[in-house]
Chains A and B, each alone.
Chain A
Amino acid sequence: MNDFNAAPRHSLSPNAINYWRREELISNLIAFVVLAVLFYLDWRFDWYNWIGWILIGLAIIFLIGLVWSVLSPPLTFKSWRYDLDEEFLHLQFGIWNRTEQLVPMTKIQAVSLTQGPLMRKYKLASLSVETMGSSHAIPALPKETAAELRERIAHFAKIKEVEQ
Chain B
Amino acid sequence: MIAAQRHHPIQILFKIGRLIRNSVFIFLVLFVFQGDNSSLYVVYGRYAFFLFFLWFLVSSVLTWLTTTYALDDQRFYLRRGIFSKTDQSIPFSKVQNINRHTSFAHRLLGLTSIRFETGIAGEDASVKFEVVTQNEAARLETAVQEQKESLVSEVRTNVDRADAAPETERVIRKSQEERVIHFQPTRRDLLKASMTSFSFLLLVPLLASLYYNVSEFFGLEERLDGIGAILVSSPWFIILAVGLMVLASFVFGIIHSFIKYGKYKISSDSQRVYIQKGVLSEAAFSIAKERVQAIEITQTFTKRILGLAEVKLISAGSLSMGPEDMSISSLYPFLPKKRAYTLVSELLPGYRIQEDMKRLPRRALWIRLLVPSWLWIIATAVLIYFQPEFLGIENTWWIASSILLAFVFISRVLDFLHTRYCLNDELIQLKNGGFTSTLFVTKREKIVEVEITQNRIQRKFGLSSFQTVTRARPIHTSYLKDVPDSMASTFSHWYRGRMKEVEMDTAN
Residues of chain A whose beta carbon lies under 8 Å from any beta carbon of chain B: 4-5, 87-88, 94, 96-104, 106-107, 131-134, 158-164
Contact = CB atoms under 8 A, between A and B. Distances in A.
B493 interface: yes
B455 A96 contact: yes
Contacts of B504: 159-162
Given A100-B453, A159-B508, A162-B505, A5 B448 contact: no
B456 interface: yes
B505 A163 contact: yes
Interface in B454-508: 454-456, 459, 469, 471, 475, 477, 489, 492-493, 495-496, 498-499, 502-505, 508
Question: Which of B291, B471, B493 has the largest count of A CB atoms less than 10 A from its CB?
Answer: B471
A104 B498 CA distance: 9
Nearest to B121: A132
A106 B499 CA distance: 10
B136 interface: no
A106 B502 contact: yes
Nearest to A91: B451
Say which size band chain B's interface belongs to: 20 to 34
A89 to B, nearest CB: 9
Contacts of B155: 162
Contacts of B502: 106, 161-162
A103 B468 CA distance: 11
Given A132-B475, A134-B449, A159-B505, 11 more contacts: A4-B492, A102-B496, A103-B449, A107-B449, A159-B504, A160-B504, A160-B505, A160-B508, A161-B505, A162-B504, A163-B93
A107 B446 CA distance: 11
B503 A87 contact: no
Nearest to B506: A162
A133 B448 contact: yes
Nearest to B507: A160
Interface string B67-111: 000000000000000000000000001000000000000000000
A84 to B, nearest CB: 13
Interface of B: 93, 155, 290-291, 445-446, 448-456, 459, 469, 471, 475, 477, 489, 492-493, 495-496, 498-499, 502-505, 508
A87 B495 CA distance: 11
Given A5-B489, A87-B496, A102-B492, A161 B449 contact: no
Contacts, number: 82
Main DSSP-derived SS at the A contact region: loop
B485 to A, nearest CB: 11
18 contacts: A4-B493, A5-B492, A5-B493, A88-B496, A94-B453, A97-B454, A97-B456, A98-B453, A98-B459, A99-B453, A104-B498, A132-B448, A133-B475, A133-B477, A159-B504, A159-B508, A160-B504, A161-B504
B505 A104 contact: no
Nearest to B469: A133
A98 B454 contact: yes
A102 B450 CA distance: 5
Contact of B449 (A102, A163, A164): A102
A133 B455 CA distance: 23
A70 to B, nearest CB: 21
Nearest to B448: A107
A99 B499 CA distance: 23
Contacts of A132: 448, 471, 475
Nearest to A86: B499
Nearest to A1: B496
B493 A104 contact: no
A131 B456 contact: no
A153 B335 CA distance: 46
A164 B505 CA distance: 11
A76 to B, nearest CB: 16
Contacts of B448: 104, 107, 131-133
Contacts of B453: 94, 97-100
Question: Which of A96, A159, A162, A163 has the largest count of B CB atoms less than 10 A from its CB?
Answer: A162
What are the 5 A-B residue pairs with the smallest beta carbon separation, nearest first?
A: A133-B475, A100-B452, A160-B505, A162-B503, A97-B455
B288 to A, nearest CB: 8
Contacts of B492: 4-5, 100, 102
A132 B291 CA distance: 16
A78 B449 CA distance: 24
Contacts of A104: 448-449, 498
B313 to A, nearest CB: 14
A29 to B, nearest CB: 31
Contacts of A5: 489, 492-493
Contacts of A161: 445, 502-505
A102 to B, nearest CB: 5
B160 to A, nearest CB: 14
